[in-house]
Amino acid sequence: MPHDFTGQTAIVTGAASGIGLAIARDLAAQGARVVWSDLSEEALARATDGHPEALAFPCDVSDHTQVEALVAYAVRETGTLHLLVNNAGIGGPSAPTGDYPLDGWHKVMGVNLHGVFYGMRYGIPAIEAAGGGAIVNMASILGSVGFANAPAYVAAKHAVVGLTKNAAMEYATRGIRINSVGPAFIRTPLLDALGEDALTGIAQMHPVKRLGTPEEVSALTCFLLSKEASFITGSYHLVDGGYTAP
């Protein structure tokens, strides 16, 4: 179902590939003025090729000064901000908690948790100034269940779900809806690097026996950002092919 985002400005982090790329494309196709953000300027150039209307802004979301600059850029270039998708994230090292590298822990937390907080810290005042809008924070199925050898990722995504609920309560009467989305394993370039044998095994972990697509996650995300979801806030929505059902 298409939505109408005409006249609205959106920021999407992690927009150069995978889920973020699908969301940025879909929002633009549905009328939003999209600021595409990612760590790499070169990756952003490739992602926005064919989108002459796109606004691209490289940003390391683990650096609060860069996130503040990203929001300021969106407002300066378009005059406003209504929609924010805090999607940028990394996987981190694979190791049990007792052996987990400290630098890996801090890097995962910096991007996956602090980056979401910074996005809301600077994005919420801009959205409120525009008269309201919506935010989607990209969590994961691992925002509700554990996964061996991924303590930093699991902890960060659980925290994103809690942070989302807390902020949604604070701004529920101030015109800003805030929700989180929890994808399972989605077929992205990052996952493709594991090889077909590994992907086949991962697909079998889902009751539907396949991987999800970025477009499926984008469809839910765009709905949550739209006026059709006007009574939905503070929620955690799974796109998981039944992964968390057992």
171 is catalytic: no
Cβ atoms 63, 39 nearer than 8 A: no
Alpha-carbon distance 112 to 100, whole Å?
Answer: 17
Residue 77 domain-assigned? yes
Residue 49 domain-assigned? yes
The total number of structural domains in the chain stands at: 1
Query: If you average pLDDT over residues 9-17, what whole number do you get?
Result: 98
State residue 28's pLDDT score. Answer: 98
Torsion sign, CA atoms 106, 111, 115, 116: negative
Q: Which of 122, 153, 171, 243 is catalytic?
A: 153
Percent of the chain with pLDDT over 90: 96
Domain that holds residue 77: 9-239
Query: If you average pLDDT over residues 148-162, what whole number do you get?
Result: 98
Residue 215 domain-assigned? yes
Residue 227 domain-assigned? yes
Residue 46 domain-assigned? yes
Q: What is the pTM of this model?
A: 0.97
State residue 128's pLDDT score. Answer: 98
Residue 1 domain-assigned? no
Residue 67 domain-assigned? yes
Residue 244 domain-assigned? no
Domain CATH number, residue 83 = 3.40.50.720
Tens of pLDDT, residues 49-100: 999 999 999 999 999 999 999 999 999 999 999 999 999 999 999 999 999 9
